[in-house]
Amino acid sequence: MQISHGENAKDTANVLSRYGEAIAIRHCAFGEGNAYIREVAHHASVPVISMQCDVYHPCQILADLMTVRERFGRDTRGLKLGVAWTSAPNYVRPLSVPQSLILLMPRFGIDVTLACPPEFRLMPEIEAQAKANAEAGGARFEISDCFEDAFAGANVVVPKSWGPLMTTRDTKQGLALIEQYPTWRCDGARMALGSPDLIYMHPLPADRGREVTDEVIDGPRSVVYDEAENRLHVQKALMALTM
């Protein structure tokens, strides 16, 4: 569904609950999206599924986990996953993908390294929760300001752009900060730092030439189309479980 500015969550919930067996909402406005989805869920009489908000992207990260399991088996303990910020100037992207990655993957015993410039750190409470999830899952969670640290010895890498929303919410300032790090791009040299079985993942669409080179996203280590297909499967499973 498309959310109109100022739309009342209670009215939306009551109307859409009569239209079908579930409500799916994507609302990424920072400081608004997650709160709105939760308010709709509070009033709705059918399940409400988050298709992405300003804090989380659960459907994407479930597809990511499914993709990792397809490649490495169901026992993912001891794998290393790198979440790397990349420079892409098109617009200031939400934090929801990297935040969901660092929250979920350590719960399955996967060591996670988050690499980003200081201005692009994630929400402090999410970073703290990721650390707690790693301790509970017997994994490690580390944060680095070195791009290559996300790739070193990794089995999986997700180089992905997001905005400096913890530093500024001004779009012009945000885009200027992105331009300060043009070398933060996934290429063959960075991929060579990983383990021999390293795979490249991205939720798509990727900004070719800025986030990633063609040789990587079109190369044999790329699983982006498997990852995209798995969105279909996990979302069907969510509907089967909830509707």
Give 114-172 pLDDT, tens digit per residue: 999 999 999 999 999 999 999 999 999 999 999 999 999 999 999 999 999 999 999 99
β-pair type (199-200, 80-85)? unpaired
Asked whether residue 116 falls in the same domain as residue 144, the answer is: yes
Q: What average pLDDT does the segment 77-91 reach?
A: 94
Supply the pLDDT for residue 6: 52
Lowest-pLDDT range, 6-20, 48-62, 63-77?
6-20
What integer pLDDT is reported at residue 90 of this predicted model?
76
- Domain interval for residue 158: 58-227
Q: Are residues 14 and 87 in the same domain?
A: no
Mean pLDDT within 55-65: 98
Do 157 and 70 belong to one domain? yes
Residue 2 pLDDT exceeds 60: no
Q: Does 88 lie in the same domain as 21?
A: no
- 241 occurs within a structural domain: no
What CA–CA distance (Å, rounded) separates 203 from 236?
A: 18
Cis preceding linkage at 205, omega within 30: yes
pLDDT value, residue 8: 86
Do both 80 and 23 map to the same domain? no
Residues 6+ apart with CB under 8 A from 53: 25, 26, 27, 28, 33, 34, 36, 37, 94, 96
Task: Give the relative orientation of helices 224-242 and 58-72 as an angle to the nearest 10 degrees.
Answer: 120
Same structural domain, 92 and 71: yes
User: Strands 156-160, 199-200: parallel, antiparallel or unpaired by DSSP?
Assistant: parallel
What SS3 state is found at 144?
strand
pLDDT at residue 7, as a whole number: 66
Please, what is the average pLDDT of the chain? 95
Q: Which residues contact 44 (CB under 8 A, 6 or more apart)?
A: 13, 14, 16, 17, 23
pLDDT-based confidence at residue 71 (cuts at 50, 70, 90): very high
Residue 139: per-residue pLDDT: 98
Quote the number of domains for the chain.
2
Q: Clarify whether residues 129 and 189 are in a common domain.
A: yes
pLDDT at position 89: 81
